[in-house]
Amino acid sequence: MGQTIHNKPTCCIAITNNYRYDQRVQKVARYLASLGYHITIIGRNFPVLSLEDINSIHPDLHDSVSIDLLSLKYSRGWRFYLEFNWKLWRLLRKQKYDVYLANDLDTILGVYHGSTHHAKRIFDAHEWFEEVDELQTKPFVRWVWKTIANQYIPKFTHCYTVNQWLADTFSTAYSKDFTVVRNIPVSRNLKDALPQAIQEALPKDFILYQGVINSGRGLDNVISAWTKDLPPLVIAGYGDEVDQLKTLAHQQGKSDQILWLGRITPSLLPSITKKALLGLHLLDTASKNYRYSLANKCFEYMHAGLPMLTVETPIHEMLYEKAPYFLMLDDLQPQHIAQGIHHCLSAESQQVMRQAAYKAKENFTWANECQHLETMYAL
Q: pLDDT over 90 for what percent of the chain?
A: 77
The DSSP result for 181-219, as a single string, is: ---PPPP----SPPPHHHHHHS-SS-EEEES---TTS-H
Q: What is the mean pLDDT of residues 240-250?
A: 96
Q: What is the mean pLDDT of residues 237-259?
A: 95
Q: 215: pLDDT confidence band, cut at 50, 70 and 90?
A: confident
Tens of pLDDT, residues 267-313: 889 999 999 999 999 999 988 999 999 999 999 999 999 999 999 99
Q: What would the CATH number be for the domain defined by 10-184+366-377?
A: 3.40.50.2000
pTM of the predicted model as reported, rounded to 2 decimal places: 0.91
Which one-letter amino acid corresponds to residue 344? C
User: In the chain, where are the structural domains located?
Assistant: 10-184+366-377, 196-361
Q: What would the CATH number be for the domain defined by 196-361?
A: 3.40.50.2000
Q: Please determine, for residue 154, whether its predicted confidence score (pLDDT) is greater than 50.
A: yes
Which residues, in sequence order, are CB contacts of 373 under 8 Å at separation 6+?
28, 31, 32, 160, 181
Tens of pLDDT, residues 6-17: 588 999 999 998
Q: Please determine, for residue 103, whether its predicted confidence score (pLDDT) is greater than 60.
A: yes
Listed range (73-82, 155-164, 354-363) with the worst mean pLDDT: 73-82
Q: Please determine, for residue 50, whether its predicted confidence score (pLDDT) is greater than 60.
A: no
Domains 10-184+366-377 and 196-361 are alike in CATH topology: yes
Q: 1: pLDDT confidence band, cut at 50, 70 and 90?
A: very low
